[in-house]
A and B are shown apart, each in its own frame.
Chain A
């Protein structure tokens, strides 16, 4: 026969007293004794109301009230007094559970007592050595014990921060009372009465209290540290499921968490929103007479909450909206998916876009940043995601245009680029690891070759495009490039177009069809002449000019290849 467990509960409350009354009744109807600590900041009238509503219940005592503020020793003091009064009033209590006025028991109390009875000498308290584990946010870990914290973090934040910085500069280190090793953990625990009495009646308690009075957030460390002194059977695991967000604030539970909480099989969950009527009426689950002792399985709910926290901190890559507008280079992913930018190929092969569409399973667009408007695949007026092709609308926010397109369209997006297009995103794309870029510099010269424009116009446009591309190449040659960049100049590319293209296509789409034929190339005759004439007019053609192989060589090689 297992030893009988007589559970006592210390309830720390400061807010919603209706909820407190309800929770106290849940505990007592499950056979537990309750010591209620109501924060001294709550008005006397409200407490009188609470007393009245619970006066029929002789299993409830009201402990001495303290003014509690978060992160201070007052919370520990309140717990100590309540626990001492509870043990004095009900000396046969075997276990004491520390809960708050917002901790909701999920399973029948009988389940909990049966679970405790299975190993009645075990203390359930999360207690992690500060030497090993980073416990909380804010960077204060071991320093909670080695610095002095006389100021309230919530009310005197400025003083708090200044004083911490000053102590760090001065190299101040407090000495821990002999024999203690600092431990941290969830402030919600369940201790055996034996351990708790040992802590409360320790002859050195005054010394410990004096030390912890100036420790930061002692409610997460006082019992967690002292339990190591008095108990040998510590189960370092809190029976209360309490999750925190990235800033250390407790997670609230609402009506829609019912199914998930039921599945978690936790004994107690925190922190329940007082308005969650369905949640409050559903839990604790009814006592069916046969207590279940299966341990809690909070893995799934933990995972879901951790995902939410991660989304709050990291966000969804490539998403820009009214509540997420990362500053430059803090995006955690500039775009949401890989995409490919191909520069110069449409100038060499006029039918390149259609040809490419036949080889890839991606969305192949034309020049999305063309000055005439966005050339979506098939040239609709409204592209994927109802994005307008209007150049004015696009150029209002080119980055939003590109990131929205990549986010909304499912297959990989491939588009053409050239120095004639809007250059606003050069840095953005070059620093985006999702970008695959194939750049054939100097290819923009070819359409000028047989344009039939007067030479003066050709010279002007040539100079302009050359300047734009040189600026772009400055970006692409910089240290900060994160894109997967394949850069060739025109001459290099023309010597070996098939291999270069094949490599690139395989990189962006491993299932792309092998290249058997290239699309028709633009006529290159007269390129030498045009470049010479430009040179003689005082312009210095760069980017491929000098090392361009003779046209005849290129043509014959190509024929041989086909």
Chain B
């Protein structure tokens, strides 16, 4: 006999239900992005200079003036042709500095970072408006992409190769880099390579789960989980990222750059034992500027999960925690 619950269970097993749900979710995200365009005020719109096939970089930032020179020069050298940046009410002159750059288009907003799904609504809008048909790199100002042969081949070599083999997205795990010694003492001068100072990382302590619904891998671990989240490691930050995507109007980032819709874009790993290509986002967060930033972000409470991350960091930093340990690697 077929019971009602049995039928429901069988329906739930049908992939079509999940597909319809994901489609609805994707359309909702795109609609949110469309709505959020009113929040953005163009300060300097140089997007007409974008040419066909250019690689674009999308950033949301707030008070990152000191990082910007190195950030821009790093990605320019890699072959990014245009930067599309949302300034979330910076007060340290980031806006003026960016306005003066010939390859930067700048939008300004003082809307809530959290209300805009941590900036992703703004980015989804800019991607939809300007990113279609381009390879788009979405990063934070403290994330620096590396990929196989990055010292020899420009980013365009990678993207044309990805085009040739028919891939639309490129994964890069977020790798937290940290200094040896107290974080407060790790001063990185403006325009200096942050990885001269923060040159250490955790080599082997990452956990991976697969998210069947979105198809992405959920990677956690690293120094943050080891040092800040000992009381609740499961709440530690996610490190899986897909920052480089050949954008289409149908795409949307779901949560930060951790996952996208449609689901196929998240399937960046081989399940038959082989290896696909992946890169790494070096995360230059743990420098002397971090302490002040975490105190400020704690006041604003504009980050994930009630700023739990920053709260944990701040508590940790007050105790003078070092991230370096004898097993760290350079």
Contacts and interface: CB of A to CB of B under 8 A. Distances in A.
Real complex partners, A and B? yes
Contact of B270 (A326, A393, A405): A326
Interface string B160-190: 1100110000011100000000000000000
Contacts of A316: 275
Contacts, number: 145
A331 B327 contact: no
A387 B268 contact: no
A396 B270 contact: no
Interface string A412-435: 000000000000000000000000
Interface in B163-221: 164-165, 171-173, 202-210, 217, 219-221
Contacts of B325: 382, 386
Contacts of B278: 321-323
Contacts of A392: 232-234
Contact of B207 (A384, A386, A401): A401
B276 A324 contact: yes
A401 B207 CA distance: 7
A273 B157 contact: yes
Interface in B266-295: 268-278
Interface in A254-281: 254-256, 273, 275-276
A390 B207 CA distance: 13
A348 to B, nearest CB: 32
A324 B273 CA distance: 7
Nearest to B79: A275
B217 A252 contact: no
A395 B220 CA distance: 13
Contacts of A256: 149, 152-153
A256 B277 CA distance: 18
B225 interface: yes
A384 B327 contact: yes
B312 interface: no
A393 B221 contact: yes
Given A323-B268, A408-B203, A400 B208 contact: yes
Nearest to A319: B275
Nearest to B171: A322
Contacts of B209: 396-397
Contact of A249 (B165, B202, B206, B232): B165
B204 A408 contact: yes
Contacts of B154: 275
B223 A320 contact: no
A517 to B, nearest CB: 34
Interface residues of B, number: 49
A386 B208 contact: no
Contacts of A322: 171-173, 208, 217, 219, 240, 268-269, 278
Interface string A376-387: 000000111111
B321 interface: no
B226 interface: yes
A386 B226 contact: yes
A315 B230 CA distance: 33
Nearest to B323: A386
Nearest to B240: A322
A407 B268 CA distance: 22
Nearest to A403: B204
Nearest to B154: A275
A321 B278 CA distance: 9
Contacts of A247: 165
B27 interface: no
Given A326-B270, A385-B202, A397 B225 contact: no
A154 B229 CA distance: 50
From A324, A383, A401, A407, name the one whose CB has the most chain B CB atoms within 10 angstroms. A324
A45 to B, nearest CB: 15
B234 A405 contact: no
Contact of B273 (A255, A326, A396): A326
Given A322-B268, A388-B205, A315 B219 contact: no
Interface string A236-253: 000000000101010010
B210 A325 contact: yes
B269 A323 contact: yes
A316 B274 CA distance: 8
A129 to B, nearest CB: 31
B328 interface: yes
A205 interface: no
B156 interface: yes
Nearest to A408: B204
Nearest to B241: A322
Contacts of B274: 311-315, 324, 332
20 contacts: A247-B165, A252-B164, A273-B160, A275-B156, A276-B157, A313-B274, A314-B274, A320-B208, A322-B172, A322-B240, A322-B268, A323-B277, A324-B276, A384-B327, A385-B205, A387-B204, A387-B327, A388-B225, A404-B205, A408-B203
Given A311-B274, A314-B274, A385-B204, 5 more contacts: A387-B327, A388-B205, A396-B209, A396-B234, A408-B204
Interface of A: 245, 247, 249, 252, 254-256, 273, 275-276, 311-316, 319-327, 330-332, 382-388, 390, 392-393, 396-397, 400-401, 404-405, 407-408
3 A-B pairs with the lowest CB-CB distances in the bound complex, closest first: A385-B204, A397-B207, A323-B278
